[in-house]
Structure 1
């Protein structure tokens, strides 16, 4: 299934009025959730399932962590409203170090400038340097090293002052 087919599926689900649709194929799983207030807004999660594992086992292990961060982030958003969030531009595995024997790119308290590399994300065996689009001070690291990240997932909180 290519990206165009996924986009068409999202549009179809949004127009149908369904609140959640799950589609499982041999090598991936797609979950599309829409909100009741605005059926045109849809969120899709595409999950690649390794061929060596049973299909029934992977969705159970992966589904819970996706839903869990959504609930606690709402109250925290009020406390962190003065901070700017650096979000993941791609899906992949986040690494905070350029290599295992090197120090981390940034830590809590590090001062960054626009264009500084804050982490790398590995996607399909390519390591993509993630650069800061703002200047400021790192106040919170939201993702652990070697953790999988989703598109638009918050990675760091930055105090721009």
Structure 2
């Protein structure tokens, strides 16, 4: 059996034996469970119910580390999909949405889609469908907007953010 390729790709530079050891430890501790993927002889890992309880402390760490994240990766490896956890964690504590909204985030490849609803925020791969607006910026500026460390007006004045579509939706989502 082999691991799903996206797991290895998502952890650049990790040795496969080290990853296998860590996954075995997490499985033995009850944090993850191993499953056979639908596509044959491939193993995938999923959080157990107890493992999903890690979301709250991880989101707290994300909020705590905002000053470090908004400086940017400074040569570190970075993948745009990593924002799928950080942006909702930052927005959930400071922004309340009355109506649903969707904002495309063009911060690299792949493009992401931010969905905002009354129940919270979710970021995932862009599905190619319609959305209310698009924000183009470096990931560090999107994080700064989500954290409230940078206002949309300041970001536009600095020329670090471009908006296409309904700017009012973007202002609602990234409210200061």
- Structure 1 length-normalised TM: 0.26
- Structure 2 length-normalised TM: 0.24
> Greater helix percent: which structure?
2
